[in-house]
Amino acid sequence: MKQITVSLDKRGVSCVAKLLDDVAPRTCAAIWDALPLSAPVFHGKYARNEIYTLLPAFAADPGKENTTVTPIPGDLCWFSFDSDDLGNPAYGYENTTGTGTTGAIVDLALFYGRNNLLINGDQGWVPGNVFGAVTSNLEEFAAACQDLWMGGARGETLSFSRL
């Protein structure tokens, strides 16, 4: 079983997740081969209890596998977007293309609470590939995510690394 560490670096908190190779083998392989990954963190506006990072595509899109629109606490999800998908000022990014990149963007997300629904006012349903499940320290990590929501994300990074 492959395991990874997910960290909010500035807050000094991490959790451990297992990769779900059996149900999302293409997604897991793409992530495992690219680790470590780190970039600024964002807190979800639409999905509720979600933190995520946006990265220039680091692998071929794995396509849909083990998708959901109702992630549960501890789910790790992969989303693929084009920079134009994220250019709407309503998303709150600090430039017109969302991440400052053009082309494909990978969104890696961690869901830390209940009642998430992946629907977007501009795009409709946004299914994500569930590629991992947090196995330890979700409660402390969720508290840090809530602090991120209330205290702000500026200067914080979300990192993924092999355990």
**Closest by Cα among 83, 80, 67, 76 to 128:** 67
**In angstroms, rounded to a whole number, what is the distance separating the alpha carbons of residues 158 and 61?**
21
Q: Quick one: CA torsion of 35, 61, 141, 148, rounded to 10 degrees?
A: 110
Write out pLDDT tens, residues 128-162.
Answer: 999 999 999 999 999 999 999 999 888 999 999 99
Burial of 114 (0-12, 13-18, 19+ CB in 10 A): exposed
What pLDDT, on the 0 to 100 scale, is given for residue 88? 59
CB 150 within 8 A of CB 86: no
Residue 140's pLDDT is 98
Q: What does the DSSP assignment read for 44-102?
A: -SSSSSEEEEEEE--S----S-SEESS--TTEEEEEEEEGGGG--GGG--SSTTSSS--
Strands 128-136 and 13-19: antiparallel
Contacts of 90 (CB under 8 A, 6+ apart): 121, 122
Q: For 22-58, what is each residue's pLDDT tens digit?
A: 999 999 999 999 999 999 999 987 788 999 999 989 9
Structure tokens at 9: 């670096």
Q: pTM value?
A: 0.90
